[in-house]
Amino acid sequence: MSLDQIAAGLLAAYTTGKTLAPLPGLSPADAYEIQQLQARQRVAGGHPVIGYKVGLTSAAMQQQLGVDQPDYGHLFSDMLHAADGSIPTARYLQPRAEPEVALVLGAPLRRPDLGVADLVSATAYALPAIEIIDSRITDWKITLTDTIADNASSGGLVLGSTPVPLAGIDLSLVGCVFRHNGRIVHTGAGAAVIGSPLNAATWLANTLIERGASLEAGHVILTGSLTAAVPVQPGDTVSTTIDRLGSVTAVFD
């Protein structure tokens, strides 16, 4: 299949409810082109980009897929769900939820060779977040190029409602408690995200610039999961509490 055909097949999975077999023979460059082809279609369909997510930030996932750096995907306006609101689980195929630190930018990041200090200066505030990851690849049998082509296995996001400035907070040290239906299922810390969520966000900013894109004021960055993900189904509730940032809850209908 051509890259355009693969992109069309991944987009169609949203409406058909049918997953695709793993995508053989792709290079990372091919996979990002497939992701970009879908992004153009989604923007043209009235769903602008509101930010980006960083994936593969844990050492365990990088080892599993044989890579030494993260990947990224787009966040679109129709992916954002209200905290404590009802999330229609049926719109997803194989959903899982995971807790993350979200950063919201107050200024654009457009020049090359950015450092963590540049990222901090551009960040307006942080929020606790829950990312809904989803795979259009059957049974989550993904390789690196599968997940890149599939928009870094992104599905949706829920953001906390109380902005917290970064001043005085070391995000590498923040602890996280993740609950599924009221029971603690995982705990984690900011250092699980390649040393700090700020490292992940800085990697993202530089990688986007290298690829001819950039982060803009108002963009949301999902910096990577602080714990393992949990599968979710209708009737489930997941919540996370992150030190200094507060709590957020996602309710699945």
Neighbour count for residue 226 (Cβ, 10 Å): 28
What does DSSP assign to residue 60? Answer: H
Residue 66 confidence (pLDDT)? 81
| pLDDT of res. 61 | 77
pLDDT digits (tens, 9 = 90+) for 59-104: 877 887 788 889 999 999 999 999 888 999 999 999 999 999 999 9
pTM above 0.85, yes or no: yes
Q: Which amino acid is at 172?
A: S
User: Domains of the chain by range and CATH?
Assistant: 3-252 (3.90.850.10)
Structure tokens at 39: 């992004």
Nearest to 30 by CA among 62, 7, 9: 7
pLDDT (0 to 100) of residue 152: 96
Q: In the chain, which stretches have pLDDT less than 50?
A: none
**Residue 64: per-residue pLDDT:** 74
**pLDDT reported for residue 1:** 86
Amino acid symbol at 106? G
- pLDDT of amino acid 68: 82
> So what's the pLDDT on residue 137?
96
3-state secondary structure of 64: helix
Strand (E) positions, 2-122?
49-55, 71-76, 80-81, 86-87, 96-105
Q: How many residues are present in the chain?
A: 253
